[in-house]
Amino acid sequence: MPVNRRAGRPQGGPKGSTNEANALAEFLLTLTREMTVRELAGRYHVGKTLWGEYRTGQKIIPLELLRRLVRDHTPDERTRETRLETAARLHAAALEGAPHAPSITEPAPAPDLAMAPEPAAAPEPAPAAGGRRRLTLIGGGTAIALLALLILLLVWRPANVAGIADGPGTPDAGGATAVLPASTEVFTIAPGGRGIFQWDGENAAGWTKIGDSARQLWAGSAGLFATGMDNRLYLYEGRPGRWHPISEPGADFAIAGSHLYRLAADRQSIHIWNGRGTSWMRIGGSAARLYGGELGLFAIALKDGSIFRYTGRPDQWTFTGSAGATFALTGKHLYGLIPNRTAVTLWLDEQPRVAWIHAAGPAGDLYGGIAGLFSTDPAQERLRVLMALGTDPANQSWQDIGPAGAEVRVGRRDVYVLSKDRSEILCWSRDTGTWRRIGGPAQTLAVRPTPSTSTIPESGTRQPSRSVQP
């Protein structure tokens, strides 16, 4: 059946490398058939080129963005739930079928890390550091293309580390193994996944390259982790270039306290990493996604969107609340955005029943961390912080602090924003209320939470555990 599209450049048929990628692209194209790539870029703050690649299967759309599209384009609740399940299944299949091309450095495991078999073969070595790569420039845009490439390399090349174009391997001589200050807690992946970098906390030039190509980052008390181009999860060993695979691909990962959790690729089970090798233990059933923070691990039920809290014992979860548009964990609290996004509620962990109270007005998305709760406005244009107007937790309001971005990460006393075009990383201080540029461009960000001083006292009494699974 032909699809009627609005005026604009013809989209063309699927061009993915696998049938699974093409199936996901067809689903996405049908879902967004009434919108051009220009309109999609304007609404969801993702470039037109990426939208073209997502809708032709050349790249796999991030799952959270896919879910948001389904919610926005499916007003009927029953149809929406069905489409969300279909989207999750197609996305998992597309990731599973993606060609494996790992490029995070994978050194030989130390004896104490070799407790279980590796989930897949070791990645093929990339070009040695310092090797030359030939650059071919074609057509009249030679000067522009060369200038753009030079700018990218200059922005990301610290004085003591080889540039992005260098291959993976052991750290370069000349100081690349220097220990960074303990206050460093911001990590990023360069555009196109070309390198993992760590900020030294000083200025926009203070970035050190610590790893090669990656897709996504997770940082917390359990460590720094990255999904490689093969979608396996890797652990950073604390030295530039030293990464070790610890997990097969997963649908989601989360860090809660000192523990790392994984949602299986088929979303049918939740696992906890034992901290060594590739050994994981099952602790729960099916889920849609995971949330981790100082309060622990929470999971969203795949069936109805309800949220459950892990008690610390396998297969024992406590019901926390009904479905919400999204949730966020701060250092002390769990917040939920109600399904129609017109109000934010605060969870009170009290007996004898689950209690939620009104906390703030409408929001687009929520972001939580030690520094508090942040949100975008309903139009997704402005970033706000939740400010208390007194001692009553229900007496709070949103305070505008600046423009929204493509990503927001909350740190100790700061919030980090990746601009909508991903060209800048900006930091807002809760202490001073001011912004400063600390780097960019970037593909994605991760922020390490505060160390042990961030321990949050429990308020109220916990509910008794029930043997239920999310």
Q: Is the pLDDT of residue 464 over 50?
A: no
Does one domain contain both 270 and 415? yes
Please indicate, yes or no, if residue 145 is contained in any of the structural domains: no
Average pLDDT over residues 161-185: 32
Answer whether the bond into residue 314 is a cis peptide, omega within 30°. no
Count up the domains in the chain and report the number.
2
H/E element holding 416?
Answer: strand 414-418
Q: Are residues 191 and 48 in the same domain?
A: no
Could you give phi then psi for residue 22, rounded to 5 degrees?
Answer: -70, -35
DSSP single-letter state for residue 61: P
Work out the percent of the chain whose per-residue pLDDT is above 90: 51
Identify which of 470, 397, 457, 446 has the alpha carbon closest to the alpha carbon of residue 217.
446
State the number of CA atoms in the 13 A half-sphere of 304 facing the CB: 8
| Structure confidence at residue 334 (pLDDT) | 97
Q: Looking at the DSSP assignment, which residues form a beta bridge with residue 467? A: 317
Give the 3-state secondary structure of residue 278.
coil
Q: Where residue 185 falls among pLDDT bands split at 50, 70, 90?
A: confident
Together in a domain, 376 and 274: yes
Q: Which of 164, 161, 169, 59 is nearest to 124 (CA)?
A: 169
Residue 227 counted as domain residue: yes
Whether 428 and 289 map to the same domain: the answer is: yes
Reference 43, options 7, 73, 21; nearest CA is 73
| Structure-model confidence comparison of residues 316 and 77, the more confident one | 316
What's the pLDDT score for residue 81? 81
Pair 93, 191 in one domain: no
Helix, strand, coil percent values for the chain (each to nearest 5)? 20, 30, 50
Q: What is the pLDDT of residue 7?
A: 46
Least confident span in 117-126, 203-212, 266-275, 294-303: 117-126
Between CA 452 and CA 263 the distance in angstroms is 26
Task: Answer yes or no: is pLDDT of 170 > 70.
Answer: no
CA distances 355 to 300, 322, 388, Å, are 18, 11, 20
Q: 195 and 89 in one domain?
A: no
What would the pLDDT profile of 74-117 be if each residue is shown by its tens digit? Answer: 988 778 888 888 888 888 888 777 654 334 444 333 322 222 23
Does one domain contain both 207 and 352? yes
Kindly state whether residue 163 falls inside one of the protein's structural domains. Answer: no
Give domain status of residue 302, yes or no: yes
Q: Which of 51-65, 180-194, 209-223, 337-351 has the lowest mean pLDDT?
A: 180-194
Same domain, 91 and 191: no
pLDDT at residue 392, as a whole number: 67
Q: Which of 76-90, 299-313, 420-434 has the lowest mean pLDDT?
A: 76-90
> Among residues 97, 121, 139, which one ends one of the domains?
97
User: Same domain, yes or no, for 92 and 191?
Assistant: no
Asked if the model's pLDDT at residue 216 lies above 80, the reply is yes
Cα–Cα dist 15/321, whole Å? 42
Q: Mark whether 90 and 190 lie in a shared domain.
A: no
**Domain containing residue 287:** 186-454
Contact call for residues 299 and 252 (beta carbons, < 8 A) = no
Cα separation, 306 vs 286, in Å, equals 12
| Distance of alpha carbon 339 from the chain centroid | 22
Q: pLDDT band at 5, cuts 50/70/90?
A: very low
| Residue 228's CATH number | 2.130.10.10
Residue 1 lies in a domain: no
pLDDT band for position 12 (cuts 50, 70, 90): low
283-301 pLDDT, tens digit each: 999 999 999 998 999 999 9
pLDDT of 380-417, one tens digit each?
A: 999 999 998 766 666 789 999 999 999 999 998 899 99
Residue 229 is assigned to a structural domain of this protein: yes
Average pLDDT over residues 235-243: 95
Q: What global pTM score does this model have?
A: 0.61
- Is the pLDDT reported for residue 453 higher than 60? no
Task: Please state the φ and ψ torsions of residue 163, each to the nearest 5 degrees.
Answer: -75, 175
Q: Which of 70-74, 158-162, 178-182 has the highest mean pLDDT?
A: 70-74
Give the pair of three-digit tokens for residue 398.
């949103």
Residue 194 and residue 69 in one domain: no
pLDDT (mean) for 121-142: 35
CA distances from 211 to 41, 195, 207, 314 (A): 30, 6, 12, 34
Among 416, 310, 327, CA closest to 365: 327
Instruction: Say whether both 213 and 87 belong to one domain.
Output: no
Q: What token pair was written down for 123? A: 């990645």
- Mean pLDDT lowest for which of 89-98, 180-189, 372-381, 434-443? 180-189
DSSP 91-146: HHHHHHHSPP---S--PPPPGGG-SS--SSPPPPPPPPTT--------STTHHHHH
User: How is residue 287 written in tokens?
Assistant: 């889920």
Tell me whether residue 120 is in a domain.
Answer: no
Q: State residue 78's pLDDT score.
A: 77
The answer to whether residue 27 is domain-embedded is yes
